[in-house]
Structure 1
Amino acid sequence: MNHDSYPDYFLKEILTETNTIALVGASPNPERPSYRVMAFLLRKGYTVYPVNPGQAGKEIQGQKVYAKLADVPRPVDMVDVFRAADHLLALVDEVLALPEHPKVIWGQLSVRDDQAAAKAEAQGIKVVMDRCPAIEYPRLVA
């Protein structure tokens, strides 16, 4: 897929078919974008599992935090990535090691690694990069 632009129908389908999200890089700091996006996703009815090894066992916005994707108690539809782009390839490897793969890996604004995307897409996982669901949702769904 060309990751320079995405058709609106592609993003809308992801946002409307997703129910569960693992939010990697979740922060307890209300000033951080991951905190605000998590709050938005929860308000829109998504089940969100925050993933952050430094916060594991604690809660962010009333949701238990997990150290790694493999610790999330159920399969998720989407992995939303709030990590630096140079961590995306390792995260794809972590995703591919899960017993059930998510349908989507979504890299937040500035999170782009075409090699990582190609690896995930080769396994049938849709990839969105350098976009934010909290920006796209109001534009396409609400």
Structure 2
Amino acid sequence: MHFENPPRERIGDLLAAVGNIAVVGLSDKTDRTSYMVARAMQMRGYRIIPVNPTVDGEILGEKCYHTLAEIPEPVDIVNVFRRSEFCAEVAQEAADIGANVLWLQQGIISQEAADIAALHGMTAIMDRCIKVEEAITMHGRSRV
């Protein structure tokens, strides 16, 4: 099946209603794109939950989990900073925790991950930066 991202209006609606964003592959290094994007989203009022199997402790002042399954609260968006070949596994983990959205960052595309998301009723977004989309779609909008 050919994949298409949802229209920008739908992306804005998703971002307006989001509670928690789990960031898979969030680095604790401040010069990494994952850190800068997650920090920007945090500064805009989004709750960021770091997921990185190599980091113990906290990132951006939030407890870091080694896997999505360890997160003890609901996750709305799973934002992925991993290479494409790892995304199908992340998509299945996102489905297993009942996430609503699987978001693969700019430059990351996985048809298999999108298919898994669709199979489990998740919205998939690929090859888009969540920070950029938030700036475009939320300009002047308030979050629910």
TM exceeding 0.5: yes
The amino acid of 2:123's aligned partner reads: K
Instruction: Give the TM-score normalised by the residue count of structure 2.
Output: 0.90
SS at match of 1:111: coil
Partner residue in 2 for 1:109 = 106
Partner residue in 2 for 1:8 = 8
Q: Is the 8 A contact 2:8 2:137 kept in 1?
A: yes
Instruction: Give the paired residue count.
Output: 139
Q: Is the 8 A contact 1:22 1:48 kept in 2?
A: yes
Inter-CA distance 43–122: structure 2 relative to 1 (3 Å threshold): same
Instruction: Give the TM-score normalised by the residue count of structure 1.
Output: 0.91
Aligned equivalents of 2:18 and 2:79: distance in 1? 11
The amino acid of 2:52's aligned partner reads: N
- Structure 2: stretches of 5+ with no match in the other structure: 140-144
Displacement after TM superposition at 1:3 (Å):
3.5
Q: Is the 8 A contact 1:3 1:128 kept in 2?
A: no
Alignment of 1:74-93 (within 5 A): 74-93=73-92
Partner residue in 2 for 1:95 = 94
Q: Is the 8 A contact 2:5 2:125 kept in 1?
A: no
Aligned equivalents of 1:75 and 1:54: distance in 2? 22
Displacement after TM superposition at 1:97 (Å):
2.6
Aligned CA RMSD, in angstroms, stands at 1.4
Render the CA deviation track for 1:14-67: whole Å, top value 9, x for unaligned: 1111111100001011110110011111111111110001003x1111111000
Alignment of 1:1-142 (within 5 A): 3-56=3-56, 58-98=57-97, 101-142=98-139
Aligned equivalents of 1:114 and 1:42: distance in 2? 29
Aligned equivalents of 1:5 and 1:96: distance in 2? 18
